[in-house]
């Protein structure tokens, strides 16, 4: 038995099967009927939910990412059916699915970040004040056997460094997944599949670590159901295909007179995935509801003007039939900037991370100079008298000078604002003065 390779386009294969029973239908026909039925259910339910979010486009910075996530189900369902129906050219259909998978993962991460703070600058201020939790399994095992808190798998001392690691771990998949998909179409080599397995595992691990760290602050947004919905879609689709592909390529599963090779390689995983997509489309109705964005919602109608949780818009921004919302949702510019920021931090900003104020006062930190605001707090404010506005702004521990390392001023979301000069609002998580 030779080393397995990726499945080819099956251009030379033809389905020639005997009926499952006398005068009945073949396995291929049965699979197509099941796939078409459940794909239609998945598409109809998902399109309904997307349409409701588009016409009730009240919070663009949130709903933009929700629409991106919701489109993952119909794309998976349609691609799975077409891959089964046009099985000789399935690899070309899967390019769209694989590329959109990375897009959906980045959208989910961006949505969670927006729940924490509206823009990148506020997010950085937030994460500067958190205490990173230890890595969960299996990195905690690697940490124990590879130097502990002094080894490569150590827990970051700075919450901002932890955030940048998670950011890079998520957005690396967006680039590598697309690149490896193109390479796989050309080469059909097994090592490409191995790289994809590693990258998707890293991305999903980072999402779970992000959820574990922030689940208390994200509780009002029901994060568990959201992460479960997207994690299961990616996990099941990826590993089902990998498992069946490996078994067929290695010869563990062989075709018969009632089940041809295309049905084994493509029909079985595609049919299963279509059924699962119908279930996930229904789950999304509860994971990503649209009614909370309706202006008729009493929460919005009665929200005070100074309520920071109230929607920033007083009218829907989706345009006629939500067309503007769909155009906004599929504008990839924020994703491109996020990928660029992750690459710049990995190769440049990472080397200067200890100059960030979040490392101030920590053992082994390169940042030892105290800011005027810190000295003012240590001396007490009773003897300083009233300060002018300009003096107070100079005393504030701004982070703009440190953001120049690694391009921290790049935006995560579309409408990033300037760094606030006032102290950031308190968070529900445990904070510390020196991370």
> pLDDT value at position 121?
86
Q: Check residues 258 and 104 and name the one with the higher pLDDT.
A: 104
> pLDDT value at position 389?
45
Computed over every residue of the chain, the mean pLDDT equals 75
What mean pLDDT comes out for the span 157-178?
A: 87
Q: Which residues contact 179 (CB under 8 A, 6 or more apart)?
A: none
Helix, strand, coil content of the chain in percent (nearest 5): 65, 0, 35
Q: Is-cis flag, bond preceding 52, omega within 30?
A: no
Q: Quote the CA–CA distance of 286 and 28 in Å, as a whole number.
A: 34
pLDDT at 109 over 70: yes
Highest mean pLDDT among 84-98, 175-189, 388-402: 84-98
pLDDT at 434 over 70: no
Q: Which residues contact 355 (CB under 8 A, 6 or more apart)?
A: 366, 367, 402, 405
> pLDDT value at position 134?
78
pLDDT at 178 over 60: yes
Q: Quote the CA–CA distance of 72 and 64 in Å, as a whole number.
A: 13
> pLDDT value at position 383?
38
> pLDDT value at position 28?
82
Q: Please, which residues bridge with residue 431 across strands? A: 130
- Between vectors from CA 399 to CA 395 and to CA 404, what angle results, nearest 5°? 135
> pLDDT value at position 17?
59
Q: Quote the CA–CA distance of 291 and 63 in Å, as a whole number.
A: 12
Highest mean pLDDT among 46-50, 203-207, 369-373: 46-50
Q: Are 373 and 396 in contact (CB under 8 A)?
A: yes
Q: The whole model's pTM is what?
A: 0.73
What mean pLDDT comes out for the span 24-45?
A: 91
Q: Please, which residues bridge with residue 130 across strands? A: 431
Q: Check residues 188 and 406 and name the one with the higher pLDDT.
A: 188
Q: What 3-state class would DSSP assign to 117?
A: coil
| Span of 11-15, 218-222, 407-411 with lowest mean pLDDT | 407-411
Question: Where would I find the H helices in 288-384?
Answer: 298-301, 323-329, 333-347, 372-379
Angle between helix 27-55 and 72-85 (nearest 10): 160
Domain boundaries, the chain: 27-334
| Span of 130-144, 190-204, 382-396 with lowest mean pLDDT | 382-396
Q: Please, which residues bridge with residue 166 across strands? A: none
> pLDDT value at position 430?
46
What mean pLDDT comes out for the span 365-389?
A: 42
Listed as own residue / partner, the contacts of 331-338 with beta carbons closer than 8 Å and 24 or more positions apart are 332/103, 333/414, 334/110, 334/411, 334/412, 334/413, 334/414, 335/103, 335/106, 335/174, 337/410, 337/411, 337/412, 338/106, 338/110, 338/167, 338/171, 338/174, 338/410, 338/412
pLDDT at 312 over 60: no
> pLDDT value at position 288?
94
> Domain 27-334: which topology?
Rhopdopsin 7-helix transmembrane proteins (1.20.1070)
Q: What 3-state class would DSSP assign to 130?
A: strand
Q: Check residues 312 and 85 and name the one with the higher pLDDT.
A: 85
């Amino acid at each position: 038995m030779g080393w397995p390779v990726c499945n080819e386009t099956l251009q030379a294969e033809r389905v020639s099967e005997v009926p499952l029973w006398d005068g009945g239908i073949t396995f291929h026909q049965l699979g197509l009927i099941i796939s078409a039925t459940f794909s239609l259910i998945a598409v109809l339910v998902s399109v309904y939910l997307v349409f409701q979010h588009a016409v009730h486009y009240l919070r663009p910075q949130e709903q933009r990412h929700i629409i991106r996530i919701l489109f993952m189900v119909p794309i998976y369902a349609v691609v799975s059916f077409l891959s089964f129906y046009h099985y000789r050219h399935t690899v070309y259909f899967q390019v769209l699915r694989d590329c959109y998978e990375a897009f959906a993962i980045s959208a989910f991460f961006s949505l969670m970040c927006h729940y924490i703070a509206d823009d990148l600058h506020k997010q950085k201020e937030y994460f500067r004040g958190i205490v990173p939790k230890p890595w969960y399994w299996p990195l905690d095992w690697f940490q124990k056997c590879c130097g502990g808190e002094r080894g490569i798998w150590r827990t970051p001392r700075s919450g901002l460094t932890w955030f940048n690691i998670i950011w890079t771990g998520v957005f690396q998949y967006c680039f590598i997944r697309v690149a490896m998909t193109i390479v796989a179409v050309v080469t059909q080599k097994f090592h490409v599949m191995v790289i994809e397995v590693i990258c998707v595992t890293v991305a999903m691990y980072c999402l779970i670590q992000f959820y574990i760290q922030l689940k208390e602050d994200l509780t009002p947004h029901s994060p568990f159901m959201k992460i479960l919905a997207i994690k299961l879609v990616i996990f099941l689709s990826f590993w089902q295909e990998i498992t069946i592909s490996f078994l067929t390529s290695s010869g563990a599963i062989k075709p018969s007179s009632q089940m041809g090779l295309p049905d084994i390689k493509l029909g079985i995983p595609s049919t299963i995935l279509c059924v699962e997509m119908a279930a996930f489309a229904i789950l999304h109705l509860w994971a990503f509801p649209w009614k909370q964005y309706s202006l008729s919602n009493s929460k919005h109608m009665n929200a005070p003007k100074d309520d920071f949780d109230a929607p920033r818009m007083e009218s829907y921004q989706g345009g006629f039939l939500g067309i503007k919302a769909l155009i906004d949702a599929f504008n990839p510019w924020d994703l491109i900037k996020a990928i660029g920021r992750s690459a710049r931090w990995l190769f440049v900003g990472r080397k200067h991370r200890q100059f960030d104020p979040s490392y101030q006062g920590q053992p082994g930190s390169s940042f030892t100079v105290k800011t005027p605001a810190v000295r003012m707090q240590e001396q007490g404010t009773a003897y300083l008298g009233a300060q002018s506005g300009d003096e107070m702004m100079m005393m504030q521990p701004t982070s703009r000078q440190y953001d120049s390392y690694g391009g921290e001023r790049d935006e995560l979301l579309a409408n990033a604002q300037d760094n606030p000069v006032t102290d950031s609002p308190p968070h529900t998580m445990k904070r510390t003065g020196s991370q």
